[in-house]
Amino acid sequence: MSGAIRCLGNSLRSSRLAARISPGALPQGVRSYGQAAVRQREDVGEGQAPVNAAPPRKQRSTPAERPYTSGRPVSTDPEDPVFANYLNRLMHPLTFSPELSRRIMTHSSHALARKGHNGGLSFFGRRVLNTYTLLFLQASPNLPKDADIEDITSRTVHTSLLGQHLGGAWGIGREMVWAPSLPAGTEELEALRHAGLYKVQGEIIQAVVGAVYHQYGGSVAHRLYHTRILPNILTKGGLPMMFHDEVHSIAERIGGAEAPLLQESR
């Protein structure tokens, strides 16, 4: 069990370090390669060739590609409330600013990523989900003595599993902004799935968790985890069935799927 304790300690340390950062900032060292690539493209567009840049290669003609944004145009106005309206409905009574909401809902593959994307918040949210899952498993009387707790945790809150089983319930695919490499007009779910749809949706869920933890603290994020997330991802290949009754029991004890995320002060 010492390995599990080390894993839990690492996740808790990551959570404490990231919690010191202001809600609008990305954690140091976790900016994704995609953002760096976007900046490089911007520099090249301004006439500044990157260091050791190779001569441009001739590219084959390919079908026109477009960002996948559910067929609706995406405003470049940072104060456009469309993303905030969606998240504020989804996470009521929690509220998020238009700028933070845009960051949460924007994947690094999209051109809007140059104005901010969810890479850092997703990284942190993933650590938060891992920590809460480890805490749940460590406290569970159903955990076998020889269980590989790290493997169970990884499978329970796997990014693609989150995106597949919770992303649809949250309607993320209709609101998120990303740019899969697909021919223009492609709408088939199977094609989008192979292009990474579930993974991208999962990263947005992680970013939501990261933003909630940053802005509202660990207790609110913990209630979100036990009432809106874990009970909805009890599927084959995820958390073993021996824990399912306990998951539902904890959720009901907190107040169920409709439990208020913010507790009223007395």
Q: How far is CA 247 from CA 60, 72, 233, in A?
A: 52, 38, 10
Q: What is the pLDDT, as a whole number, of residue 16?
A: 53
Mean pLDDT, rounded, for 210-232: 98
Domain 67-254, architecture per CATH: Orthogonal Bundle (1.10)
181-205 residue pLDDT tens? 655 555 555 555 555 789 999 999 9
Nearest 5 degrees, angle CA 95-CA 98-CA 100? 80
The domain ranges of the chain are 67-254
Q: Is the peptide bond before 93 cis (omega within 30 degrees of 0)?
A: yes
pTM as predicted: 0.72
Contact assessment for residue 33 and residue 117, using Cβ atoms and an 8 Å cutoff: no
106-141 residue pLDDT tens? 888 766 767 778 899 999 999 999 999 999 999 999
Phi first, then psi, for residue 65 (nearest 5°) are -115, 155
CA atoms 3, 139, 156, 169: torsion sign: negative
Q: What is the pLDDT, as a whole number, of residue 116?
A: 74
pLDDT band at residue 76, thresholds of 50, 70 and 90?
low
CA-CA distance, 122 to 201, in Å (whole number)? Answer: 11
* Residue 84 or 76, more confident: 84
CA atoms 222, 225, 230, 231: torsion sign: positive
